[in-house]
Amino acid sequence: MLYRPFGRTGEQVSALGFGAMRLPVVDGHRDRIDVPLATQMLHYAIENGVNYVDTAFPYHGAAFDAPGNSEPFLGKALAGGYRERVLLATKLPVWLTESRADMDRLLDGQLERLRTDHIDCYLLHGLNGKMWPKMAELGVAEFLEAAKADGRIRYAGFSYHDEAPAFAPIVDGYAWDFCQIQYNYMDVNFQAGAAGLAYAAEKGLAVIVMEPLKGGRLAGRAPADVQALWDTAPVARSHVEWALDFIWDDPRVSSLLSGMSDMEQVVENVELAGRGRVGLLSPEEHTLIGRVREAFRTRTAVDCTECRYCLPCPQKIEIPLVFLAVNNAALFEDLESERIGYDFGVKAGFTAPATACVECGQCEDACPQKIKIIEELAKAASILEE
């Protein structure tokens, strides 16, 4: 495993971080973690050098207004000496925070679920230009300083989901130790993007990258025209390797988070992280990645990363599942297969049909990608429902 400076903190963090949002589950139920397998995956990662583990209040839960099962899982799985070997990160659910007292209450609950007396890396979850002024007014800076002083947290940061202009004011609004941004070779100009990465690093913040595989979409089978571009590369790489190497090639990145769902992914990513150095890619290879980016952009129908922030839908539509079918049909030119899979999913009860949408807008308010979900569900219905 290779390690990188964690901003100005003096810590060294593994190039690969273990994300606990997409753990293996039982029978497709997101709130039922496959504990034996997930524990085996986590322990393998730590034993092979991963020292950054990330979770959040709602991960692996049924709703965003109640604690999920990811934090309690980690509390148990990190017992037996594993807790002391990692920087443990979780996040304050700012959407549930209406007072300074809420901040303390929520943090104390997370400490209890994680079975620890301190959280190494504590983030304000999903900050944006609207939420940051509210949190500042509620006294979040004083809360973070007090939590540092009494030892409940060590380092303070934020994860970001908004357009680029709102990023710098948040960076400048507090003496953050680190931030977490969405970044991959498709999203260089999305949200904080490359400009935000540069700004945060210039200010001395450690930068943790989330969605390096864009919700797994950059890891799967590529359409023929995209694969033809990859095949011109002088050095052959897997699709996962291209995506992760793009991140690791940048010296301003401290670590990238991978939300791994099976042991094969853990083994592969740990192996790749062992050679994830700055300077991996030549200028010609960066040019090739740019050509692949443009080829993909002409095909992608809905810019969904399957983060599941839009769920639960009151009408029981599995929105990411619907959009995955639409995107796969566009990317791989196989609409009939996607219609069959979608129809099976509806009949088996995995999702309500897209036509069940009543346009309540709850999903659009929650979507960090700012997708016009109501409009896209209508399009999906016209494509997938014969």
Q: What is the mean pLDDT of residues 148-173?
A: 96
Q: 34 — phi, psi (to 5°)?
A: -75, 90
- Return the residue matching tokens 């509620």: 138
324 Cβ partners below 8 Å, 6+ apart? 304, 306
Residues 139 and 261 in one domain: yes
**pLDDT value, residue 347:** 86
Residue 289 lies in a domain: yes
In the predicted model, is pLDDT for residue 386 greater than 80? Answer: no
Question: Mind listing the pLDDT tens digit for each residue in 284-315?
Answer: 999 999 999 999 988 889 999 888 899 999 99
Q: For residue 52, list its beta bridge partners.
A: 87
Residues 214 and 70 in one domain: yes
**pLDDT value, residue 28:** 84
Residue 310 lies in a domain: no
pTM score, two decimals? 0.87
Question: Mind listing the pLDDT tens digit for each residue in 173-215?
Answer: 999 999 999 999 999 998 999 999 999 999 999 999 999 998 8
**pLDDT value, residue 50:** 98
Residues 91 and 172 in one domain: yes
Residues 330 and 263 in one domain: no
Give me the number of domains the chain comprises: 2
Domain edge (last residue) among 264, 297, 330: 297
Residues 251 and 337 in one domain: no
In the predicted model, is pLDDT for residue 162 greater than 80? Answer: yes
CATH number at residue 230: 3.20.20.100
Residue 308 lies in a domain: no
Residues 268 and 334 in one domain: no
Question: Mind listing the pLDDT tens digit for each residue in 98-129?
Answer: 999 999 999 999 999 999 999 999 999 999 99
Other beta carbons within 10 angstroms of residue 10's beta carbon come to 7
Residues 224 and 367 in one domain: no
Residues 219 and 160 in one domain: yes
Q: How far is CA 110 from CA 23, 49, 191, in A?
A: 19, 25, 28
13 Cβ partners below 8 Å, 6+ apart? 3, 4, 5, 6, 51, 52, 87, 206, 254, 255
Q: Is the dihedral of CA 171, 173, 178, 183 positive or negative?
A: negative
**CA distance linking residue 20 with residue 286, whole number of Å:** 30
Residues 324 and 292 in one domain: no
Residue 279 lies in a domain: yes
Quick one: which of 294, 254, 268 has its CA closest to 157?
Answer: 254
**Residue 115 domain boundaries:** 3-297
What's the pLDDT band for 378 if we cut at 50, 70, 90? very high
Q: In sequence order, what E strands does the chain have?
A: 3-5, 12-14, 16-19, 25-26, 29-33, 52-54, 87-92, 119-127, 153-160, 178-182, 206-210, 255-258
